[in-house]
C-alpha cells in the first residue's frame, strides 16, 4: 500500500500535471454572516472550509483574540466564538470543540498562559475554527471581527 499524506499531496500533484483521476469539481455553499453592526454578508464558502477560514472574505475576519489574527495550533483557545443562528449545512459539534469551550468558560490555562474565566455559553455557541461548512443554509452571528488597527503599530515608529 502506498503512503497517503494527510493532504493527499501526491494525488494533487499528479492531477495538476494531468496524470491520474481528474480533479473533482469545487463545491461552494452560501453562508450568511451577521456582523457585529447588524449588517449581513453572504459568502460563498468552499465545502469543508471552517467558518473562520471563510470569514477571510468579510471586511475583516472573525477575531481570534490573537495578535496577528491567526488561530491557535490546536483550536483550544476558544476565542473565535460565534453564535449559530441556523446550523443547516454545518458539521455537528465534536467533543474536542465542547472541551475547548468548557475550558474557556472555566478559565483553564492555554498554551502556558493563564486566562480569566469566560462568560457562560449559549447552546448555540460554536468555535468558528471547528465548525465546517458541508451544505447550504448556515447563518452565523459574528461576535467580534479582527481589529486591523491592533497590529498596525505606531505610524511614527515611536
Tens of pLDDT along 93-132? 999 999 999 998 998 888 788 888 888 889 999 999 999 9
pLDDT for 143 equals 92
101, 82 contact by CB (below 8 A):
no
How many domains in the chain? Answer: 1
Asked if residue 8 belongs to a domain, the reply is no
Phi-psi region of 109 (alpha: psi -120 to 50; beta: other; left: phi over 0): beta
Bigger pLDDT: 104 vs 35:
35
71, 85 contact by CB (below 8 A):
no
71, 87 contact by CB (below 8 A):
no
Asked if residue 68 belongs to a domain, the reply is yes
| CATH at residue 80 | 3.10.20.30
Backbone angles phi, psi at 40, to 5 degrees: -120, 145
Of 7-16, 50-59, 86-95, the poorest mean pLDDT is in 7-16
* 3-class SS shares of the chain: helix, strand, coil, % to 5: 20, 25, 60
Asked if residue 19 belongs to a domain, the reply is no
Asked if residue 4 belongs to a domain, the reply is no
Amino acid at each position: 500500500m502506498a503512503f497517503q499524506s494527510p493532504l493527499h499531496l501526491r494525488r494533487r500533484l499528479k492531477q495538476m500535471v494531468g496524470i491520474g483521476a481528474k480533479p473533482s469539481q469545487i463545491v461552494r455553499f452560501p453562508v450568511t454572516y451577521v456582523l457585529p453592526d447588524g449588517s449581513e454578508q453572504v459568502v460563498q464558502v468552499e465545502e469543508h472550509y471552517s467558518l473562520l477560514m471563510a470569514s477571510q472574505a468579510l471586511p475583516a475576519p472573525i477575531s481570534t483574540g490573537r495578535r496577528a489574527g491567526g488561530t491557535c495550533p490546536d483550536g483550544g483557545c476558544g476565542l473565535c466564538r460565534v453564535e449559530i443562528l441556523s446550523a443547516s449545512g454545518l458539521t455537528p459539534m465534536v467533543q474536542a470543540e465542547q472541551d475547548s469551550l468548557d475550558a474557556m468558560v472555566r478559565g483553564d490555562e492555554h498554551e502556558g498562559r493563564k486566562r480569566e474565566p469566560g462568560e457562560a455559553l449559549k447552546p448555540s455557541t460554536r468555535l468558528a475554527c471547528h465548525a465546517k461548512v458541508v451544505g447550504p443554509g448556515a447563518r452565523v452571528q459574528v461576535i467580534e471581527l479582527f481589529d486591523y488597527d491592533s497590529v498596525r503599530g505606531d505610524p511614527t515608529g515611536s
